[in-house]
Structure 1
Amino acid sequence: MSMFKTSDGVNLYYEVAGEGKPIVFIHGWTADHTSFEAQVKNLSSEFKIITYDLRGHGASDRPEKGLTMNRYAVDLEELMEYLELKDVVLVGWSMGSSIIFDYVRTYGVSRLSSVAIVDMTPKLINDDEWKMGLYHGKFTIEDTFDALTTMCNNWMDFAEDFAKDAIPYLSEKELEPILEALNTNTPHIMYSMWTAMSANDYRDVLKDITVPTLIIYGEKSTLYSEETARYLKKNIQNSKLVPFENCTHFLVVENPDKLSKVVKEIALK
């Protein structure tokens, strides 16, 4: 069990498998490093694969401090510095992509060779001028306040509805293990990071992502639209759209072999 201590004293759990060019996988909100088990298996014979649990998630410490996107970006930089990683491929799923956006805003791309953005928007909250955020343009600031109220009253009341919205094809029985996993999360971490996601707007950062970039999206994602992916493509130079057919926001586990394949292709460039 490998732990890295951040500059503000928080222990982050991480795993390294294989040797070669480094690929760092960054999981999403409520998840942990095991989201990428298939990629570790598929790619570690050719690359150095790094997975880790974000602050407040999985086996990492669950602190009261540093629950912001910027601190998560700092954590990522400090972990890569500790592991002496250069020429890195960053793969961010969902909130993991927001961390990449904040990382580029803070540190630029000098440590990176390429990036993969997996089913995420640069701005979560929709308004009169922006309709490419959460729930295909229908989630407003009022909705996020309502969501936070529900989370703060009872985390699982929100988590159950969110899971049903995100993976609508699952039966009640199939949903049970997912709900059990969601219930292992620490509520104050979840609302803090929901607030952090809601508060940020990364549209101004997109022009600064100058390394080759994959924009991956689920064609059946109920959270983010194809239009969102196309907006990212338009605003990130040297980027490529990669649709995942018959996949939702959870394409990472719905078609893990394809994710491994496209990440390998960009890593080899």
Structure 2
Amino acid sequence: MRQVLLSALGAISLVATSGLAMAEPAVDVLGKDYVFPNRIEGLPARLSEFEGLQVNTFVTDDGVRLAYWEAGTGQPLIFVPGWSANGAEYVNVMYLLSRHFRVIVLDPRNQGLSQKVDYGTRISRFSMDLKQMVDHLGVRQADFCGWSMGASVLWGYIDLFGTKGIRKLAFVDEPISIVAHGDWSERERQDAGALVPSPEPLIAALDTAPPANPSPDDTNLMARMMLRDSAYFANSEAFAQSFVKTDPNFTKLVMYDHFTNDWRDVVRHKIDRPTAIFTGEWSANVPSQRWARSVIPGATLHVYTKAEQGDHFLMFKNPVKFTDDLRAFLDR
């Protein structure tokens, strides 16, 4: 009996020290079920039909409670959302991939279901938060996918911690440097994907209301975000907006740092894992994504056409193609 008790206590201790934790079913965390507005074959009609979807939290070393969404088993696949985004928006992507991977989506601080704070609002801290989630979960090796600002968080992660523990990488439509240096040539600006010579115009634009009824041919990023010309995207956005209350006073805090980072040295010198890059014809970031492909050894580039919903939100507007392409890359 004593040996059985000691074994049980040892098992409990192992779970505690490894950072593993029992996650809560998403329906329980959110407080109710949800019916998606569009019925799509191959995807759940209501949240409760997504069996195994869970939401859990952990606390960072600077005292911030962060949420993460999880589903599936097998090789860990960790998603890092872009600015102001959250795990709820990944519901279709998670459902499609959770049949093959252990899919985890972090809600960054001040985003999604995570705590709102007025400190640690730098990409380097977001990268540390990601590292601490990985450690909390006891994950020794994973595939990582960063979308938009989430790619910058991954670049910060690699800059700080290297690529140990990373099996493969995917980056979705993130400029290498959003603000141009004053001494850059036009070619350098295009390669980096720089949009402006200073961050102030972009900061001011954050307070501008997006167009309510954008043209389907509008290439503006905010217009592309407001278009609900994909039933998949309409479902995931409606779901996220029903349960996640975004406070722009907190989400804006990271943006000055985000806009002013230049990741060319990390992309050029520090990425030594198989890498897939995704962009689309509707995106202004195609030149910078081509540059990233050219400097990352063996990287592959996917440029989605306009007909394939190839804009900044391609992974949410066309999740079937995206998850098929990502899975083919990860399984290769």
Partner of residue 160 from structure 1, selected from 204, 207, 210 = 210
Q: Which runs of 5+ in 2 are unaligned?
A: 1-54, 215-219
User: In the alignment, which residue of structure 2 is the partner of 1:125?
Assistant: 179
After superposition, residues 178-257 of structure 1 pair within 5 angstroms as 181=241, 184-206=245-267, 207-221=269-283, 223-224=284-285, 226-246=286-306, 247-257=310-320
Could you tell which deviates more after superposition, 8-17 or 259-268? Answer: 259-268
Post-superposition offset of 1:137: 4.5
Post-superposition offset of 1:190: 2.8
Amino acid at match of 1:60: S
Q: Secondary structure at the match of 1:160?
A: coil
Contact 2:191 2:291 in 1 (8 A): no
Amino acid at match of 2:273: V
Post-superposition offset of 1:150: 5.3
User: In the alignment, which residue of structure 2 is the partner of 1:262?
Assistant: 325
Q: Secondary structure at the match of 1:72?
A: helix
Post-superposition offset of 1:147: 3.1
TM-score by length of 2: 0.71
TM-score by length of 1: 0.86
User: In the alignment, which residue of structure 1 is the partner of 2:56?
Assistant: 2
In the superposition, relative to structure 1, how do residues 257 and 192 fare at CA in structure 2: closer, same or farther (>3 Å)? same
In the superposition, relative to structure 1, how do residues 22 and 162 fare at CA in structure 2: closer, same or farther (>3 Å)? farther
Contact 2:281 2:304 in 1 (8 A): yes
Contact 2:76 2:143 in 1 (8 A): yes
Q: Secondary structure at the match of 2:118?
A: coil
Greater Rg over alpha carbons, structure: 2
After superposition, residues 84-95 of structure 1 pair within 5 angstroms as 84-95=138-149
Post-superposition offset of 1:256: 0.7
Q: Secondary structure at the match of 2:301?
A: strand
Q: Which runs of 5+ in 1 are unaligned?
A: none
Q: Secondary structure at the match of 2:324?
A: helix
In the superposition, relative to structure 1, how do residues 172 and 77 fare at CA in structure 2: closer, same or farther (>3 Å)? closer
User: In the alignment, which residue of structure 2 is the partner of 1:16?
Assistant: 70
> How far apart, CA to CA, are the structure 2 residues paired with 1:94 and 1:125?
15
Amino acid at match of 2:126: Y
* Identical-residue share of aligned pairs (%): 24
> How far apart, CA to CA, are the structure 2 residues paired with 1:199 and 1:169?
24
The C-alpha deviation readout for 1:58-85, integer Å capped at 9, x for no partner, is 1100111111100010000110111111
Structure with the bigger RCO (C-alpha within 8 Å, sep 6+) is: 1
Contact 2:211 2:226 in 1 (8 A): no
Q: Secondary structure at the match of 2:311?
A: coil
Contact 2:213 2:226 in 1 (8 A): no
The C-alpha deviation readout for 1:199-222, integer Å capped at 9, x for no partner, is 21110001211000001111111x
Post-superposition offset of 1:26: 1.0
Q: Cα RMSD (Å) of the superposition?
A: 2.7
In the superposition, relative to structure 1, how do residues 45 and 196 fare at CA in structure 2: closer, same or farther (>3 Å)? same
User: In the alignment, which residue of structure 2 is the partner of 1:147?
Assistant: 202
Contact 1:22 1:86 in 2 (8 A): no
Post-superposition offset of 1:122: 1.4
Post-superposition offset of 1:117: 0.5
Q: How many residues align structurally?
A: 256
User: In the alignment, which residue of structure 2 is the partner of 1:38?
Assistant: 92
> How far apart, CA to CA, are the structure 2 residues paired with 1:56 and 1:184?
10
Post-superposition offset of 1:161: 5.8
Contact 2:67 2:106 in 1 (8 A): yes
